[in-house]
Amino acid sequence: MAMKTILITGFAAFGGEKINPSWEAVKQLDQLIIDEHQLIARQLPCSFAESSEHLTKLLEELQPQIVLNIGQAGGRLDISLERVAINLDDARIADNLGAQPIDQTIIKDAPNAYFTNLPLKALLQVARNNGIPASISYSAGTFVCNHVFYTLMHWINTVNPAIKGGFIHIPYLPEQAAALGAQPSMTQETVISGLKTILKTIIATPKDISAVGGTIC
């Protein structure tokens, strides 16, 4: 059986940080093989214009069966499984190229939002059963993370609906949290373990389960 491909991406550091925990974790997974799927890890630039361009080139070049974008969400407590990408750039800070789009659509004449097609409820259940703090998130923000997530889901919906794709936010690393003071964090070992568990579950779960995973507000 031919080896299938998983594209997993992290981001370059931004906002004055020297590292980005998403790339620190993702680069450790490059070339790993999980259940006859080979992981290819790539770093995306933290810029609105370049990130979508880089991602699209990778999708065209690698033709992956699964795509998982990972990003930093400082202040979050756990691994956040993002459910929805919105067609909006509204940057609180400038990206690494100095761009700060305000109230701009990502792709003109495209839907207001896309939902991930990953089995989030199954991922949540398996992660928690394995002692990995996780939750389903209904906001990926309006910075470069959401921009990439929306670009991915638009590509899947318009070019290759057979691809499974989505976005995950992870907390600061402990060394970042210590420097910033009183911020939640997660060790790189826990993040990597969580990502491996999530990837195994994506491969093994063609259809999501029905389970509680929503929020009240």
User: What is the rounded distance in angstroms from the CA atom of residue 93 to the CA atom of residue 153?
Assistant: 24
Instruction: Count the residues in the chain.
Output: 217
C-alpha to C-alpha distances, 185 to 93, 136, 143, 182, nearest whole angstrom:
22, 18, 21, 9
- 34 and 196 Cβ atoms separated by less than 8 Å: yes
Any idea which residue has 């491969």 for tokens?
Answer: 203
- Confirm whether 145 is a catalytic residue: yes
User: Quick one: tokens of 4?
Assistant: 């299938």
- Closest of 82, 191, 208, 217 to residue 133, by C-alpha: 191
- Given the residues 37, 82, 147, 154, the one annotated as active site: 82
- Given the residues 169, 175, 189, 217, the one annotated as active site: 169
Contacts of 158 (CB under 8 A, 6+ apart): none
Longest dimension (CA), the chain: 50
CA 85-59-120 angle, to 5 degrees, is 40
- Given the residues 37, 145, 147, 154, the one annotated as active site: 145
- 193 and 129 Cβ atoms separated by less than 8 Å: no
User: Quick one: tokens of 162?
Assistant: 């057979």
Any idea which residue has 């670009």 for tokens?
Answer: 151
- Confirm whether 169 is a catalytic residue: yes
- Confirm whether 37 is a catalytic residue: no
Report, as residue numbers or ranges, the catalytic residues: 82, 145, 169
